Amino acid sequence: MIRVALIGYGLGGRSFHAPLIAATPGLRLAAIVTGNPERQRAARAEHPDARLVDTPADFFRNPAGFDLVVISTPNSTHVPLALQAIEAGLAVVVDKPLAPSSVEARQVAQEAQRRKVFLSVYQNRRWDGDFLTVRRLIAEQALGRVYRFESRLERWRPAPKGGWREVSDAREAGGLLYDLGTHLIDQALCLFGPARDVYAELDHRRAGLDVDDDVFVALTHESRVRSHLWASLLAAQLGPRLRVLGERAAYTKVSDDVQEAALRRGDRADSPDWGVDPPERYGLLGVGGEAKPVPTERGDYRQYYAGVVRSLRDGAPPPVDAADAITTLEIIEAARSRGGAP
């Protein structure tokens, strides 16, 4: 068994990492690092076999007996914690974004390469059912030549919640572009390849905040496809999750992937119907009124950690390469420089 230490047990660690680690054959969640008493109680109830550790410093004083460190902590801590894990010779998974800047991300990747330590970045939305469906339709030429890709991750949260994501200090890498924007950009690059041009509109709409909460990014890919990407916390009516326009047909998916809601509810990630989209949520493929529902590919965030197991056991490539995370950060930096970001 690959023994895993999970650092951080907030929303990310508790809902988006721990259940998937626990459900992945070959992994054992052996330790959870959190000093918050409420989170410790939750971790003890949900993963009673995991040892609780108060702080990362306590863990790194004696990391023997562990194989993999998963970092799900505020963005400002990703780099120092990743470097500590690498120095200890432990494989490491870092929640997105890898770092507050592409320069720092590159330093982490270089150090992992120098020490021959496994490094990957958690981009779970590569296993969204809607994304997998688009990838399949493109491979089947069902759309013809694609010329525009539209993708949205929108919420209605007019009241700020507080916390580091709403802090304007550059070290925190807060704001929506670093958060949901990272997923949108990563998916677009996976589907259509490198971008040669970036345009952005970044705004902070909610009173009292200096970080972006309403974002639009346009990418022109070297493949000539244009990606139009939206993220907003002020969408009182949500736009379609995905729309892909091709010369032969279009595909539109209104509803988003079912896995995030399931993880937030605390559903078991090893259930038989995990990631299955019900028929009423299928997207439409075709032209105008002749468009027909297309079954959504099964979404499966578990495949990320299954890929980690293959990498550590068999030497397979990481499920998400750190080089991809660096490229995404470079695009974020270009968007901030051209989009009037605060």
Domain limits at 268?
125-298
Tell me the pTM.
0.95
Residues of the chain with pLDDT under 50: 341-342
Q: Is 178 in the same domain as 44?
A: no
Cβ neighbours for 192, distance < 8 A, ≥ 6 positions apart: 146, 149, 221, 223, 225, 227
44 assigned to some structural domain: yes
258 assigned to some structural domain: yes
Q: Is 21 in the same domain as 116?
A: yes
> What is the predicted pLDDT for the residue at 338?
79
pLDDT tens-digit readout, 185-238: 999 999 999 999 999 999 999 988 889 999 999 999 999 999 999 999 999 999
334 assigned to some structural domain: no
CB 230 within 8 Å of CB 256: no
Domain count, the chain: 2
pLDDT tens-digit readout, 254-294: 999 999 999 999 999 999 999 999 999 999 999 999 999 99
325 assigned to some structural domain: no
> What is the predicted pLDDT for the residue at 259?
97
Instruction: Map 101-140 to HEC letters.
Output: CHHHHHHHHHHHHHHCCCEEEECHHHHCHHHHHHHHHHHC
> What is the predicted pLDDT for the residue at 341?
46
> What is the predicted pLDDT for the residue at 340?
55
